Amino acid sequence: IDSRFPAMGTTIFTVMSKLAADCGAVNLSQGFPDFQAEPALFDAMHRYMLAGRNQYAPMAGLPELRQAIVDKVAALYGTRFDVDREVTVTAGATQAIFTAIAAFVRPGDEVIVLEPVYDSYVPAIETVGGKAVFSRLRFPDYTPDWDEVRSLVTPRTRMIIVNSPHNPTGSLLTAADLDRLATIVRGTDIAILSDEVYEHIVYDGEAHASLCGHPELAARSIVVSSFGKTYHITGWKIGYVVGPEALMAEFRKVHQFNVFTVHAPSQLAIAEYMQDASRHLGLAAFYQEKRDFFRALMRDTPFELLPCRGTYFQLARYGQISELPDTDFAQWLTREVGVAVIPVSVFHADGHDEKVVRFCFAKREETLVAAAERLRAAF
């Protein structure tokens, strides 16, 4: 076949999780919890299925869930989106991101992304004929270089994609960052796509600077979140976008022919589950304990831990252990030590390698202990 994407391989998450399974390694690579969500969520889903809520939901999502989302966003960030016109339920954040890019980016348009960049953005941009333009976050704290971002803006710039809390680095955008971004896009028609799937996983008392809470940016932004991260159900593949009516109308033009609508019983279950705000408000403390537990375990290994301000990912430098490029090191660690990790160079356009790997600590304590024991034994 005359491949449309001859250079495209398989996503690193699939590659590393398969290798972990093949080698019997402790899988700290792909980001997903290895523990169970609360039974209340499953009971609700079951109840709605038995009650016959099994047919198509409205294209934008069931009103119960849209209302719960709008209420949550208003409570946290102070912006009340319109339930009918400014929120859409999506089949996870991946579909939301792809749909937003397809809705706004024309062939030849440029999209500025900050690298290391989450692996689905650039393929989506290129699939619709756009061009990704890269600005590198500053090592080792992975903060944006806004002067560089400004210098990359051209008349072809259609979109800037930001992600905070940031995967894979665990860095955060601050309110000051949002102000800088606002000055860059002011007077242009550049749209912002803000990936906030880890919005509830921010540590040490820092606040999540949602674009929803920045009126000037919110007026030109599609903000994405994912229930997979928030409620420990990555396999449900359900999330949402919020944004102003004019942008959401464009988003829905693509969404309706992309998925049309999302699994109905899980929308109802999540809408009910969201009523208890402690479930998302408690997430930061829950994961902070895991972060601190994992960091303490890692202190007895030669890995040098970088800061982790949010997400459930911990970056570590391994230059003291090995000279291997990070992709080779990740494979070696998985095969020979039995701990699977993600090499960070795969999130760089040019394979730029800072000799850093990513550990996922959204795991039971026993899983983290087992990984640390293998690392300690090896080094």
Binding site for ligand GLN (CB under 6 A): 11, 13, 30-31, 167
Rounded Cα distance, 122 and 86, in Å: 26
> x-or-dash pattern for ligand PMP, window 215-244, by CB under 6 A?
-----------x-x-----x----x-----
Piece of 64-72, 89-97, 128-136, 209-217 that binds ligand PMP (CB under 6 A): 89-97
Name which of 93 and 190 has its Cβ closer to ligand GLN: 93
94 belongs to the binding site for ligand PMP (CB under 6 A): yes
Rounded Cα distance, 331 and 102, in Å: 34
Rounded Cα distance, 334 and 340, in Å: 4
- Considering the complex, what minimum distance in angstroms separates the CB of residue 376 from ligand GLN? 24
> x-or-dash pattern for ligand PMP, window 239-268, by CB under 6 A?
x-----------------------------
Residue type, 267: Q
CB 108 within 8 A of CB 157: no
The binder of 240, among ligand GLN, ligand PMP, none, by C-beta within 5 to 8 A per type, is none
- CA gyration radius for the chain? 20
- Beta-bridged to residue 194, according to DSSP, are 162, 223
221's enclosing H/E stretch is strand 221-226
33 belongs to the binding site for ligand PMP (CB under 6 A): no
Spatial neighbors of 101 by CB under 8 A, at least 6 apart, are 111, 121, 124, 125, 128, 130, 159, 193
Angle between helices 92-104 and 245-258 (to 10 degrees): 110
170 belongs to the binding site for ligand PMP (CB under 6 A): no
The binder of 93, among ligand GLN, ligand PMP, none, by C-beta within 5 to 8 A per type, is ligand PMP
Name which of 91 and 298 has its Cβ closer to ligand PMP: 91
- Considering the complex, what minimum distance in angstroms separates the CB of residue 109 from ligand GLN? 25
Minimal CB distance to ligand PMP: which residue?
A: 92
Burial label, 240 (beta-carbon count in 10 A; 0-12, 13-18, 19+)? buried
Name which of 31 and 239 has its Cβ closer to ligand GLN: 31
Rounded Cα distance, 128 and 224, in Å: 19
Name which of 13 and 134 has its Cβ closer to ligand GLN: 13
- Considering the complex, what minimum distance in angstroms separates the CB of residue 358 from ligand GLN? 8
Rounded Cα distance, 191 and 128, in Å: 16
DSSP state of 229: H
- Considering the complex, what minimum distance in angstroms separates the CB of residue 234 from ligand PMP? 5
194's enclosing H/E stretch is strand 191-195
265's enclosing H/E stretch is helix 264-273
Residue type, 69: I
Minimal CB distance to ligand GLN: which residue?
A: 31
The binder of 288, among ligand PMP, ligand GLN, none, by C-beta within 5 to 8 A per type, is none
- In a 3-state reduction of DSSP, which class is residue 111? strand
Rounded Cα distance, 331 and 338, in Å: 10
Residue type, 80: R
118 belongs to the binding site for ligand PMP (CB under 6 A): yes
270 belongs to the binding site for ligand PMP (CB under 6 A): no
294 belongs to the binding site for ligand PMP (CB under 6 A): no
Return the residue of 31, 170, 213, 338 that touches ligand PMP, per CB under 6 A. 31
- Considering the complex, what minimum distance in angstroms separates the CB of residue 34 from ligand PMP? 15
The binder of 30, among ligand GLN, ligand PMP, none, by C-beta within 5 to 8 A per type, is ligand GLN
The binder of 284, among ligand GLN, ligand PMP, none, by C-beta within 5 to 8 A per type, is none
Which has the closest alpha carbon to 265: 36, 42, 114, 3?
Answer: 42
CA atoms within 13 A on the CB side of 376: 11
- Beta-bridged to residue 131, according to DSSP, are 110
Site for ligand PMP in 317-346 (CB under 6 A): none
The binder of 226, among ligand PMP, ligand GLN, none, by C-beta within 5 to 8 A per type, is ligand PMP
Under the rule (CB under 6 A), what is the footprint of ligand PMP? 31, 92-94, 118, 163, 167, 195, 197, 226, 228, 234, 239
